Amino acid sequence: MGKDAAQRILFLRDEIRRHDHLYYVLAEPRISDRQYDRLFAELKALEAEYPERVTPDSPTQRVSGRPLEEFATVRHTVPMLSMDNTYNAEELRAFDERVRKGLGSDDYEYVVELKIDGVAISLRYEDGLLVRAATRGDGQTGDDVTVNVRTIRAVPLTLAGLRDEGQRTRDEGLPAVLEVRGEVYMPTSAFEKLNKARTERGEPAFANPRNATAGSLKLLDARITAQRNLAFFAYATGEVEMKASGLRRQASGGRPATRDGEMATKDTGRMPVLHGGDAGEAGMTRLAEDHFTVLTRLKELGLPVNPHIEKASTIDEVIEICNGWAHQRADLDYQIDGMVIKVNRLDQREVLGTTGRAPKWCISYKFAAEQAETVIESIDVQVGKTGTLTPVANLRPVLLAGTTVKRASLHNFDELRRLDARVGDTVLVEKAGEIIPRVVGVRPELRPHGTKEFAVPHKCPECGSPVQKDEGGVYVRCINARCPAQLKERLLYFAGRGQMDIEQLGRALVEQLVDVGLVKDFADLYRLKASDLEPLERMAARSAANVVEAIEQSKTRELWRFVAGLGIRHVGGQSAQILAERFGSLEALMEAD
């Protein structure tokens, strides 16, 4: 290979990376799209001529050439936990009071960020090279979506400071390991363009950008993902490991290497730092001592960081910033569903600590729920996993917070009476936490003549058994433990990702298993054979084998997941973890009083 060609390849790679950084990180493009495409085409042609010069981090290698068969599962080094929500200024002030008491001081400040409505991702860089990208999943484990995330041009394949001079070298300021937590999202303009194309092809449109993003990341063919124009913002770090001079590390999760007897240095204490549904800076080796500086450092490393990040010295300043964005968010080319407020100093975060599921040093502020007006066309009664009967309104379809809503919860029968909601009524609907639609008000002046109150059932609508109301409570329950509707819901919960994580066990299959009598309790799942499943609707030999294999794999889950999956009243994930830790085994727990 000619020296000139080799140097040209290195130059083109650096130029393309530089212009990616200018465009996605600094928002200061220096060349037109056409000029960029010419650079890319020239590099692609040279690498085709000299394939021995192709490296995994070359800009031409973002898109995988063939589809995956399935996504592997990844365990997060630092958990990606969830975060508590607030909905008004009073709740924000209460959060601030808890911070003040927890620190025993008024000497702290906040960082206020936009809460991007996308999909949480963890990026792992080793010696400056992107080696893995994983979804949040259940916070402990997620899906390896590296091939799809590599197609996102806003995600650097190499961190700034890594140089390509014919062999791998790196700036000593780069961490040996850097996990970056952030949000993959679809810009509104890209979403509208995608839906227009899908509609023209006769395909169903995506409900909202978040759903489109999630679907794009779970495509097995990265070539399709590459066409979706996804974007990315970094907002925190996970594991960070700095390394002594001259040390090298194997890629893709390898252990630190040594040279001249030097060992990679790492503080083993860890403290998750979270944003939204995600964990952030580990209390291991840090990029900086405060969060705002961490974000600055991430930007210096070539990672895109949202520009609308502000410091606030008081909770009043926080509230003012949140109120401002409640009105400005319509001007953005991406969706946000609230704000995230974090204590800035990392040492103060360690003092405040976390609960079982969320940190005490940050909180989400959700914007006021959007409301829409529609009409109740009918009312159904659903039976939950613990027998709870819930009235649900079937609505005239209405667009609400980016999705078409056709059903909404009426909570319970006491609330139904309080609202006095009836079939034919015009009602106000909103999304609780912008997720679950619910009826919040009735327009009685628009009520048609002759409507009647909805009667509280005296029997279970699914099995016909008697129902009874909780003593001193509001819920009406079916008291038949063998009720098929309860069993279906219990099985779905048991198989859920936060419990036994049996991915192949969806609603359609569960309903068939119960309806034909193959499954009457949890234990029956583990007696199923592929031959039992093959006769079922939409079930072939391969899919039947996959279901049995998924059930078999669930036998390795932790004890607390099994306990949580049983759906015992008042025993959620955190209580199940406490029980599992206290008793240690299922046998010991079964013998408890």
Q: Which residues are catalytic?
A: 115
Which residues of 44-159 form beta strands (DSSP E)? 73-75, 85-86, 110-116, 119-126, 129-135, 141-143
**Residue written as tokens 């949202």?**
306
The secondary structure of 183-236, three-state, reads: EEECCHHHHHHHHHHHHHCCCCCCCCHHHHHHHHHCCCCHHHHHHHCCEEEEEE
Q: Which two tokens stand for residue 473?
A: 């409570």
The H or E element that residue 469 is part of is: strand 467-469
**Are 81 and 270 a contacting pair, CB within 8 Å?**
no
Look up residue 358 and give its amino acid.
A
Q: Which two tokens stand for residue 291?
A: 């969060």
Rounded Cα–Cα distance for residues 268 and 95 (Å): 30
Residue 310, SS3 per DSSP: strand
Rounded Cα–Cα distance for residues 211 and 213 (Å): 5
- Residue 275: Cβ-neighbour burial (10 angstroms; 0-12, 13-18, 19+): buried
Overall size of the chain counted in residues: 593
**Are 478 and 463 a contacting pair, CB within 8 Å?**
yes
Rounded Cα–Cα distance for residues 497 and 580 (Å): 18
The H or E element that residue 180 is part of is: strand 177-185
**Are 202 and 46 a contacting pair, CB within 8 Å?**
no
| DSSP, res 22 | I
Q: State CA 132 to chain mean position distance.
A: 17
Q: Which two tokens stand for residue 151?
A: 């197609």
Rounded Cα–Cα distance for residues 579 and 586 (Å): 10
The secondary structure of 550-567, three-state, reads: HHHHHHHCCHHHHHHHCC
* Residue of 539, 521, 522, 523 lying closest to 531 (CA atoms): 539
* Residue of 206, 204, 350, 210 lying closest to 284 (CA atoms): 350
**Are 179 and 124 a contacting pair, CB within 8 Å?**
yes
Q: Which two tokens stand for residue 269?
A: 């204490």
Rounded Cα–Cα distance for residues 408 and 393 (Å): 5
Strand-pair category, 310-312 with 110-116? antiparallel
Asked whether the CA dihedral 343, 347, 352, 357 is positive or negative, the reply is positive
- Residue 449: Cβ-neighbour burial (10 angstroms; 0-12, 13-18, 19+): exposed
